[in-house]
Structure 1
Amino acid sequence: MAPPSADSPATSFGGGSPDPIVRLTRALAVGCLLALIVLGLAWELWLAPTGQRTWALKVLPLALPLAGLLKHRLYTYRWVSLLVWLYFTEGVVRATSSTGLVVALAWGEVALCVLLFAACALHVRWRLQQAKRRNKP
């Protein structure tokens, strides 16, 4: 039987229950991702819509990695940590160039992006360290 890869759930679980740090970072990443989706939809559809509300489609790329995060796919955590910087940039630009409610929504988006990035980075780092420890002779 081949040893589990760094991308398999068994790597973080060691055949038993998940490591507390893995559980925490997974929950934080999934929660922040869902919050970004809800914030993006609420922002563009109800709270401060721009144009014909078509900007709500910007949350579609955020919906794609949700299944991968829930299935503990390490690769998904890696690319989400890159994808999130697009939303971070949008938040900073809108926070510094708009007025009113948009500023608060934009800073909320920035905060969620930073938390999501930190959760993904810590999750990846911890799982790779755990896999390295298991593979040492």
Structure 2
Amino acid sequence: MSSPVPPPFAPVANAPSPTARRTRAVTLAALLALTALCLAWELWLAPLRPGGSWLALKALPLLLAVPGVLRYRMATYRTLALFVWLYFVEGVVRATSDRAPSAWYALAEAVLVVIVFVACTAHIRLRLREARLHSAQAHAATPVS
């Protein structure tokens, strides 16, 4: 006898909440924007050397986080929330030391870093709260023997 097939739009037991999906979307959008800004800034917009700069390689670590963000990996969100502050420091230093237009790109980098950090932190807190709630509900549903 075959098991009953669930309806096509039935909620999955551990499916992310709509709020978790929104925080992931904000994180992903800001992360991709930060990556694009880093590449464009160092290659075309205001490179330190004509023809581009090796500093464009700073975008690669950001791209490494994209698969983990897409898969809701908590370790990726935690690591990204800590690691992204290196880009913030670079943005603040270059915003105060470079001339325009590079200073404007540095300021945009710092703003995007703050958005990534806030979205990652919100996602982490939300997922931990949901896990505690799920654990408490599972514990309450267990029969006492």
**Shared topology, TM-score over 0.5?**
yes
* Structure 2 letter corresponding to 1:83: F
Counterpart in 2 of 1:44? 42
Question: Is the partner of 1:18 in helix, strand or coil?
Answer: coil
Counterpart in 2 of 1:112? 112
The alpha-carbon deviation at position 15 of structure 1 amounts to 2.0
- Cα-to-partner distance string for 1:33-90 (whole Å, 9 max, x where unaligned): 1001100000000000013511111111111111000011011000000110000000
* Over 3 Å off, 4+ runs: none
Aligned ranges 1:122-137 → 2 under 5 Å: 122-136=122-136, 137=139
Greater CA drift, 13-22 or 96-105? 13-22
Max radius of gyration: which structure?
A: 2
Counterpart in 2 of 1:22? 20
Give unmatched runs, 5+ long, in structure 2: 1-10, 140-145
- Cα-to-partner distance string for 1:85-132 (whole Å, 9 max, x where unaligned): 000000000001111101110110011000000000000000000000
Counterpart in 1 of 2:32? 34
Distance 2:14 2:83 in 1: 31
Question: Is the partner of 2:84 in helix, strand or coil?
Answer: helix
Give unmatched runs, 5+ long, in structure 1: 1-12
Distance 2:53 2:14 in 1: 46
* Structure 1 letter corresponding to 2:25: A
| Aligned residues: CA RMSD | 1.4
Q: TM-score, normalised by structure 2?
A: 0.82
Identity of aligned residues (%): 47
The alpha-carbon deviation at position 23 of structure 1 amounts to 1.0
The alpha-carbon deviation at position 21 of structure 1 amounts to 1.3
